[in-house]
Structure formats: structure tokens, C-alpha cells
Amino acid sequence: MKKEVSITTRRHHSLRTGREYTVPFIRLSGKWLDRIGFNEGARVRVLGEVGQLTLTISYRKGGKSGRAG
């Protein structure tokens, strides 16, 4: 399943420096996530490389991992 989402920005406030700054922000939501196994309560491992993010379920409620075998 392919989906396309936009990258936006979020404003953050640094407690250490007191400065505000923006960071990239990606939001994924929808019933389609549930249909492909990304259910509420799951833990997700994020692997980031230049130009690519890979999301893999590392833990599901009930102790099952997202890995086969």
C-alpha cells in the first residue's frame, strides 16, 4: 500500500537556551494503518537514511513482534 504525506514543521521551545526553533514533522493517521498492522499500542522502530524512512513494528500488545519467524 502506498500513501503520500506532506512534511510540515512544528515549533519547539528549548528549555536549555530559551530559543524557539522549527523542526520537520510528519503525521501518519488513518484506518489504513490499522489495516496493515500498525495498531494502537504498538511500538514502532524507525530507521532513517538519507531520503528514506522505514517503519517496522517492534512490539504489539500481547508481546508479538512485527518480525516473521
* Residue 30: pLDDT over 80: yes
Given a contact cutoff of 8 angstroms between Cβ atoms, the answer to whether 11 and 22 are in contact is: yes
Where in the chain does DSSP place strands (E)? Answer: 8-13, 20-25, 43-49, 52-59
- Specify the pTM: 0.68
pLDDT digits 0-9 by tens, 17-29: 999 999 999 999 9
Given a contact cutoff of 8 angstroms between Cβ atoms, the answer to whether 58 and 44 are in contact is: yes
